[in-house]
Structure 1
Amino acid sequence: MALDAAIGIGEETAYGTAATSTIGYEGKADSWKVTKEFIESVGFRAGMQTARADRRNIVTMGGEGELEVDLLDVGAAALLSAIFDKHSFTDTANTRVHTFETSTTSGAPSFTAQMIRPTAEGVSVAYRHVGCVATEWELTAEVESAITLSATFDFQDVSHTTKLAEALPIVYPAEARAYDWTRTALTLTRAGVAVPLDVSKLSLSGDLGLKTDRRFLRSSALKKKPVRAAIPTYEGELEGEFTADSLKLYEAFVAGEVLGLRTDLIGLTPGTSLRFDLPAIQFTGESPEASPDELTTHTLPFRVLDPGTGQAAITATYTEPKPKAQPEKATGSPE
Structure 2
Amino acid sequence: MALDAAIGIGEEATYGTAPTSTIGYEGKADSWKVAKEFIESVGFRRGMQTARADRRNIVTMGGEGELEVDLLDVGAAALLRAAFDKYSFTDTETARVHVFETAPVSQSPSFTAQMIRPTVDGTEVAYRHVGCVATEWELTAETESAVTLNVSFDFQDVSHSSAPAQALPITYPTVARPYDWTRTAITLTRAGAPVALDAGKLSLTGDRGMKTDRRFLRANALKKTPVRAAVPTYEGELEGEFSADSLKLYEAFVAGEVIGFRTDLTGLTPGTSLKIECPAIQFTGESPEASVDDVTVHTLPFRVLDPGDGTPAIRLTYTEPKPAAPAKAMSTPDKE
TM-score band, normalised by the shorter chain? over 0.9
Once superposed, which parts of structure 1, at least 4 consecutive aligned residues long, lie more than 2 Å away? 323-326
**How do residues 150-299 of structure 1 correspond to structure 2 at under 5 angstroms?**
150-299=150-299
- Larger relative contact order (Cα-Cα within 8 Å, sequence gap ≥ 6): 1
Q: Percent identity?
A: 79
1:330 match: none
TM-superposition CA deviations, 1:66-115 (whole Å, max 9, x none): 00000000000000000000000011111100000000000010000000
Q: Is the partner of 2:172 in helix, strand or coil?
A: strand
Do the aligned partners of residues 154 and 325 (structure 1) sit closer, same or farther apart at CA in structure 2, a change above 3 Å counting?
farther
1:325, distance to aligned residue in structure 2 (A): 11
1:323, distance to aligned residue in structure 2 (A): 2.7
**How do residues 35-50 of structure 1 correspond to structure 2 at under 5 angstroms?**
35-50=35-50
Structure 2: distance between partners of 1:228 and 1:273: 30
Q: Is the partner of 2:182 in helix, strand or coil?
A: helix
Structure 1: distance between partners of 2:47 and 2:323: 67
**How do residues 10-49 of structure 1 correspond to structure 2 at under 5 angstroms?**
10-49=10-49
Unpaired runs of at least 5, structure 1: 327-335
Structure 2: distance between partners of 1:267 and 1:42: 61
Structure 1: distance between partners of 2:119 and 2:9: 22
Do the aligned partners of residues 325 and 242 (structure 1) sit closer, same or farther apart at CA in structure 2, a change above 3 Å counting?
farther
Letter in 1 for 2:161: T
Letter in 2 for 1:183: R
1:305 match: 305
- Tell me if the contact between 1:172 and 1:325 (Cα under 8 Å) persists in the aligned partners: no
Letter in 2 for 1:80: L
Structure 2: distance between partners of 1:111 and 1:313: 24
- Tell me if the contact between 1:173 and 1:323 (Cα under 8 Å) persists in the aligned partners: no
- Tell me if the contact between 1:73 and 1:268 (Cα under 8 Å) persists in the aligned partners: yes
1:324, distance to aligned residue in structure 2 (A): 5.2
Unpaired runs of at least 5, structure 2: 327-336
Structure 1: distance between partners of 2:90 and 2:263: 21
2:4 match: 4
- Tell me if the contact between 1:188 and 1:259 (Cα under 8 Å) persists in the aligned partners: yes
TM-score calculated relative to the size of structure 2: 0.96
Structure 2: distance between partners of 1:190 and 1:248: 8
